[in-house]
């Protein structure tokens, strides 16, 4: 079983999302993979409806959440609002949010806690920049992101970690087998130490229908967080259909 999580980012209107699933439903097979589509807020409900409407096994996800219950936070969205749209998962701490929207490890930590407390899956993203890798800081960076991002989190039942080297996101440059294996092993060791149980670790960064078999065969890879390839129904269906 692999976790196949799409990250649509700021793409797809309601009409686009419906057209995507029309095409996707003809291509996807019943497998035991867990498929998640993290969509813009405006189409989370459209994704959530696919189970009933088209008999598609997909969990609807979002790409951000605010940790507060409610209040004066213009432009933000709460866990209760997401849940009311049958949202079951949230991407937290994506590198685009860390760099473009200046999210700190501390803020990300609050979001992880709020999401897990609400019973939704938290897809907690970490990863080093090219500069950090070239300065041999990869493991230090990952350790800091994990220690701060998961500080005080006690329940790992709905926690997934997504290892996304920033230099591999949207670049067509996939991390090597060796890089993926050693980082996933490192992440698993840290997280297992904290929770006492295994936590799924997804790889993200230019994963697609052509390289996913190779990526999924790497020890310690429990699935993928997929950007570009998740926007194309045929590509995403091919990944959702993965079987070892
Ligand atoms: P990509 O994006 O698959 O387009 O590299 C991955 C992500 O940003 O989660």
Ligand 1 atom nearest to 230, measured from its CA: 3
Residue 209 Cβ < 6 Å to ligand 1: no
The predicted pLDDT at position 69 comes to 97
Ligand 1 atom nearest to 205, measured from its CA: 5
The predicted pLDDT at position 46 comes to 98
Residue 35 Cβ < 6 Å to ligand 1: no
66 is catalytic: no
The predicted pLDDT at position 74 comes to 98
What is the pLDDT tens value at each position of the chain, 244 positions in all? Answer: 999 999 999 999 999 999 999 999 999 999 999 999 999 999 999 999 999 999 999 999 999 999 999 999 999 999 999 999 999 999 999 999 999 999 999 999 999 999 999 999 999 999 999 999 999 999 999 999 999 999 999 999 999 999 999 999 999 999 999 999 999 999 999 999 999 999 999 999 999 999 999 999 999 999 999 999 999 999 999 999 999 9
The predicted pLDDT at position 167 comes to 97
Closest CA to 117 of 149, 150, 153, 146: 153
CA–centroid distance, residue 25 to ligand 1 (Å) = 23
The predicted pLDDT at position 172 comes to 93
Residue 7 Cβ < 6 Å to ligand 1: yes
CA–centroid distance, residue 165 to ligand 1 (Å) = 10
- What is the rounded distance in angstroms from the CA atom of residue 121 to the CA atom of residue 212? 22
Residue 164: count other Cβ atoms within 10 Å of its Cβ: 27
CA–centroid distance, residue 206 to ligand 1 (Å) = 6
The predicted pLDDT at position 118 comes to 98
103 is catalytic: no
pTM check: above 0.95: yes
Ligand 1 atom nearest to 7, measured from its CA: 9
CA–centroid distance, residue 148 to ligand 1 (Å) = 23
- What is the rounded distance in angstroms from the CA atom of residue 129 to the CA atom of residue 35? 28
The predicted pLDDT at position 211 comes to 97
The predicted pLDDT at position 124 comes to 98
Residue 224 Cβ < 6 Å to ligand 1: no
Catalytic residue among 96, 110, 164, 209: 164
């Amino acid at each position: 079983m692999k976790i196949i999580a799409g990250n649509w980012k700021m793409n797809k209107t309601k009409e686009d999302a419906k057209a995507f699933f029309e095409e996707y439903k003809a291509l996807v097979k019943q497998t035991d993979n867990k498929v998640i589509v993290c969509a813009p807020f405006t189409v989370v409900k459209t994704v959530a409806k696919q189970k009933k409407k088209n008999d598609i096994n997909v969990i609807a996800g979002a790409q951000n959440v605010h940790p507060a219950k409610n209040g004066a936070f213009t432009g933000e969205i709460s866990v209760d609002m997401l849940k009311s749209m049958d949202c079951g998962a949230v991407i937290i701490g994506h590198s685009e949010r860390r760099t473009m929207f200046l999210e700190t490890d501390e803020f990300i930590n609050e979001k992880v806690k709020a999401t897990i407390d609400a019973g939704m899956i938290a897809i907690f993203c970490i990863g080093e920049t090219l500069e950090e890798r070239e300065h041999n800081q990869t493991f230090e960076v990952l350790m800091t992101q994990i220690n701060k991002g998961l500080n005080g989190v006690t329940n790992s039942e709905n926690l997934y970690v997504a290892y996304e080297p920033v230099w591999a996101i949207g670049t067509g440059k996939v991390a090597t087998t060796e890089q993926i294996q050693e980082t996933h092993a490192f992440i698993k060791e840290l997280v297992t130490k904290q929770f006492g149980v295994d936590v799924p670790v997804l790889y993200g960064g230019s994963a697609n229908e052509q390289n996913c078999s190779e990526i999924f065969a790497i020890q310690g890879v429990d699935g993928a967080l997929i950007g570009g390839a998740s926007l194309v129904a045929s590509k995403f269906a091919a990944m959702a259909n993965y079987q070892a």
